[in-house]
Structure 1
Amino acid sequence: MSPMRWIYLALAIWGTIHPMYYFMSYLSANDWSLGALIDAWYVNDSTTGLTWDLTIAAISLTIWIIAEVAVRRNWVALIAIPATYCIGVSCGLPLYLFLRSKPIT
């Protein structure tokens, strides 16, 4: 495996663990309320802006993944879409780059 693929994989793992630590900490402190977590994303203009920034990035990444999978027929790369929406762009993007950079056989 190339060094760049290792970097993408490491970033995908980091992009899973680091944000999820904060999500889980928040949820455990707030009675596991998903509604409270979502409300916190809109608590002020700064967090609302960041939420929209990540939402637009996630939609853009999804469109890119679908467009490339349709051409490259790398169906396993579609797993990056639920990773993006269930974990975050910090996981979905490097995961997709990792899966996309696999040598075509």
Structure 2
Amino acid sequence: MQPDQHDSAGTAIIFYPDLHRQDKTDIGSGHDRYRSPAARLEEAVRLAEAINLQIIHADVVPVPKIRPATLFGSGKVEELARLIADFCPSIVIIDGTLTPGQQRNLERAWSAKVIDRT
């Protein structure tokens, strides 16, 4: 049985940052290193649904180069800001690890609560 909006803990957008690393040995552990970005995103969606978040959008976001301030490049931050403004989620989940500075900068850029996988 799917929870209706009244049972929901809120709405969420989930982004999985695909880091495009040639050497995947430092990403995850065990079999996680070899899972596709789509499979990892699907897992994040299921985890969020398990705590009654209503997922209104989920996407894999390519990250060819990590930006220290925001993880994503400035153009991608702006593109995602427009999408977030259209959906108005309660929370944006980054299915990866953000530094405290990256989290703060994304919250400011997106005017939304941002959390990472940790």
The alignment's TM-score, normalised by the length of structure 1, stands at 0.26
The alignment's TM-score, normalised by the length of structure 2, stands at 0.24
Of Structure 1 and Structure 2, which has the larger fraction of its residues in strand? 2
Of Structure 1 and Structure 2, which has the larger fraction of its residues in helix? 1
Greater relative contact order (Cα < 8 A, sep 6+) = 1
